[in-house]
Amino acid sequence: MPKKQSYMNNENVLSEGFFDKLSKIIGKLKPNQKNKLKKSKKLKSALIDLNNSVSDIEQAYSDIYGTDVKLDKFKLSDFV
């Protein structure tokens, strides 16, 4: 039987995702560059969009299953 592909493994979905790639990119930055990121309006607006999407997911879950769920919101310190 062929080996199961990594994208088919449910436990690895989050570990292979977008946030790991983002943290690797940010981890390679110099301290001066990290300060620029903290002041970046583009990054802040993207973070607001991400948190709005999380709110939309909470609302959709509530509409479908009828229970309220609270997901954690992201902060800039999660990525920098």
Per residue in 31-74, pLDDT (tens digit) is 676 677 777 788 888 888 999 999 999 999 999 998 888 989 98
- What is the number of structural domains in the chain? 1
Domain that holds residue 63: 6-78
Asked if residue 1 belongs to a domain, the reply is: no
- The DSSP output letter for 69 is -
pTM: predicted TM-score of the whole model, two decimal places: 0.54
Asked if residue 23 belongs to a domain, the reply is: yes
For 46, what's the count of Cα atoms within 13 Å in the CB-facing half-sphere? Answer: 9
DSSP SS3 for 8: helix
